[in-house]
Structure 1
C-alpha cells in the first residue's frame, strides 16, 4: 500500500489513470475508492495498515487537479446574495469548475469520506480521559499517532480541494484544536494572565499618579498572587521562544526523561522519539488547516460586506445606483458591526471566543520544532490582525457588473481551467503508434459512451467533420472562432480520431458551449484522456481568445 501510494504521489497520472494505449496498470480501477474507504475505516485492521490505506486514499482519489483559492477578490455583482449565512454559504467548488477528484469518483462518495474523518477525530477525543492530552508520545501509541497524522493530512487535502463547506470547516477546527491541546488541564494560566494584564492596564489609566499606581499594584499582586504564580512560568517561556533563547530545550529534556525509564529498552526509546516527532508533524498540519480556515473566514466576511453594500446601495443590472450614495461614519460603524460583531459567535473556532485557540497556539510556539513554531506564530499574529486583513481585502475586491465584464470573466475562467488541466495531463500526450492509438481511442469511447450525459444535444448528420462542427455551433465566438485553430481541430479529428468523431464533437460541445460547469469539466477530462491530441487546437484557440480580450 505504501508503494502504491508513493507511485501516485504528486498526481502521477501514469500510475493513477494511464491512457489505454500505454497498456499500464490502472491503480484507480484496481483499487476503487469504496474499497479503500472500507479498509481505512475498518477498526479491526491494525493502525499502521489503516494509515497506509488513508495515505493511498489521499494520493489516489482525493488529490486531483489544483487546490482551490480560499479568497476570491473578483466578484460578480449579480451573484452576491442579499442575505449571507454560514449554513447557506456554498463550497468554493460549486462556484467554479470542478476538479478531477469529484469528477472521477462522484461528490456523493466524498460525503462518506468526510463523515469517516469526522467520526475518527471525534472517537479519538472520546477515547481520551478528561484532562489528558489526546496525542500521547509513547512507544505504544506510535502506530495510532501515524494513523492520526494520515487522517489529519487527508482532512487538509479535503479542505484545500473544496470538499468541506464552511460550517463543516468550523466543526473540523473545533475537533482539531481539542486534539492538538497538549495540556487541557492547565487552561486557567493564560486566562489569568490576560485578566491580570487587563486589570493592571485599567488601573494604570484610572490612577495616573505613581504612588497610587504603586499602592494599587501592590494590592493587586497580593490578591492575584496565585494567578501570577501559575502564569509567570508560561509567560517567561513564551518570551524566550519569541526572542530565540533555547529555553524549551530544558523542557524537552524533562519531557524526554519522563518518557524514558530504566526499564525501557532502546527500541522503545526510539519508538517514543519517533512518536513525538509524528505528533509535532501532526500539529503542524493542524496549524496549516487553521490558517486555511482563516482564509475561508476572510472570504466569508467579504461576502457579508458586499451583501451589506448591495442592500444599502441598490443598483440596476448595469451598475447604476438608484440614488446617490453617501457613506457616513455611522454606515461604516454598522458595516463593522455586521461583519465582525454579529458574526463573531458563529465564526468562532473553539466556542470560547478564541481563548482556546490562543492557548494552543502559544503551546505550539514553545515547541522545539522550528517549522511548527514559525507557522503557529504566523497564525497567532493573524488572529490579532483580522481588521487590517479585512480592510486590505476590500481594497482588492473587483466587482464585475456589466454584461461584457461578466462574459469576459467567465470566458477567461473557463480558458484558464482548460489550460490548467491540459498542462497537468501534458505528460500523457505521447502517441507511440498511430494505428494502436486509433483503435484504442475508438474502443475507449465505446466503453465510456455510457458515462456521458444523455441530455438532448443537436443531432449529427453523416457529413464531413467541418460541416458537423459548424452545424453544432463549434465555430461560434465561444468555441473555435479562429480559422487556424478550427482547421487544426478538423485535421486532428480526421487523422487520429475518425472512428469516434461524433462522440468527440459531443464532448467539445459540452465543454465550449454548455452552461453546466460540472459537465464541462467532465467533458474536458474525457477528452484529455481519450483524445489527447485535441489539446493542441484547444490551446491555440484559448491563446487567440485571450489576445482578443486583452
Structure 2
C-alpha cells in the first residue's frame, strides 16, 4: 500500500525504527558475546569437544550443534526479546521500501549502519538484499569487497543457502550484469574460499556386456558407445556421492539415514548453480574460464537430461548451460533482415539450402564447423524435450516442471538467435512451438468427461461472476469454455514468461521468413532483368502478376518454391493459437500476440513495402 508507505516516511517512523536499532545495538552485541562465551564453555566441558574440533563439520554434522545453540539462545530471554524487536524493525523497513523509490532513498542513507549488523540474525542482510534488488545505482555505490567477504564468511559459518542467494542477487540487477560485483565475487568465492563449494565430476563407465573384443584372445579393446554410463559425482567436506543416487534417496527412501543430509546438499548445490549462472551472466569470462573446465557441456547436459533429478535442479543446469557455454564467444546473434545487399553477391536463384548458409550468424566457416558439433546433443535434447511437452494434455499444469520448461525454451531461444538452426529446421520447430501454446488439446480431454457429476463440478468451480453479463440462456455455453477459462487462471508468471519466449522465437522465425522472401524477390529480379532495361511499369506489372504471388503460395508444388507455411494447415493453427493468446489476462503477452496477428495478415505488405 503506497499510501501507508508514504505515511510511514512522512511521520518519521523510518527514523524512529533506526533509532531503536541504534539504541539496542550495544545491548545486542553484549548479550551475543555472553551467549557465545557460555556456549563455548559448555562445548569445552563436553568430553567429545576435541573430537568435534578435529573433524571438519559438514552442514549435516553441525545441524544438531546449531540446533542446541539456538535452544540456548532462546533460554536467554533478554537476548531473544532484543532480537525479536530488531527483527520486527528490519521486517518493517523491508516492506516499506518495496517498489517505493523515495523510501528506498531514505533507508539507503543508513546503509553503513545496516551493514554493521549483518550476521546478527536480525534480518539485516535480508533488508539490504531487498533494498539492492534491481537497484543498480545502490549496488554499484555500496557493495564493496568488505560486504562480499562478510557474506562469504557467513556462508562458511552457517552453510545457509540464503547467503548464496544474496551473492547471486548482487551479480545482476534488472537483468543487467554488475561486472564489478561479479569480479569481486569470483575472486572471493573461486580463489580465496573455493573450499565452501561443492565440487562436481563426471565419471564415464562402460557396461561389461558391451565390451568390444577383437579376434584374438587378448583383453578388451574398448566399449560400445551406445551404453556408456555417465555418472555425475558431487564432493563436499571429504565426502562424495552420485547426484542421481542422492536425488533418489530424497525422493523415494524416507527412512534412509542420510536422507536429510542429501536433501540439504542438493538444495545447497542448486543455489550454488544459480550463483554460478549469475557470475557468468552477460559473458563474464573471469567466471566462465574458471568454471567451464569443471562444468563441461557433457556434464551439464547429462544432468539436464536426467529424469531422476528434480525439475528445479535440472532447470539450474540448463540455465548454467546458457550463461556458461552458449552465450559466449564466438557466438553472435544473426542479422534477421538484411535490407542492404551488394548486387554482385545476389545469386540468380536461391534455395533453402543456399539461404541457410547466410543465416548461420557471424562465424567464419572454420568456426562453424568446430562449434556446431559441440551443441548437437544439446539441440537434440531441446527438440525431444519440447516434443514431450507438446504431448502432455496441459503443457503448463505442473508448476515444478514449468521451471525446467522455461529454461529449455530459453535455451532454444539462444541457440536459434545464434544461428545454430537452419531455416528448414526452424520451420519444423515452429510446429512444436505452436503445439506448446495450443490449448485445444486441453479442451479435447474434456470430451472424455462422461460422468455428469464431473461436468457439474467443473461448472461449479468456474468463476461464474466473470460471465454474468455474457452467459446465454440457451445451452450453447459449453463446458469447454469453462475449462479454458480455468486453465488460463491457474497459469503462473513463469508460464507466462515461457510463452513470451516462445512468442519471441516465432517473431524471429517470421523475420527470417521475410528475409528469405526478400532474397527470393531480389534473385528473381536479377535473373530476369540483370542485363535488360525494361520500363519501370513493365517490371512492376510482371513482378506483381507472375513472380510475387508464387513466394506466398503455401500450396506450391514447385521444387524451386519451398513451402514456407508455419503449421502445414495454411496458417489455421497459427491463427488459432494467437487468438487464444490475446484472451489471456497478461498484458505483455496479449500485446506481442496482437503484433504477430497483424503481421500474419500483412505478409505481402511487409515484404513489398
Structure showing greater radius of gyration is 2
What TM-score results when the alignment is normalised by the length of structure 2?
0.45
More RCO (CA 8 Å, sep 6+): 1
What TM-score results when the alignment is normalised by the length of structure 1?
0.49
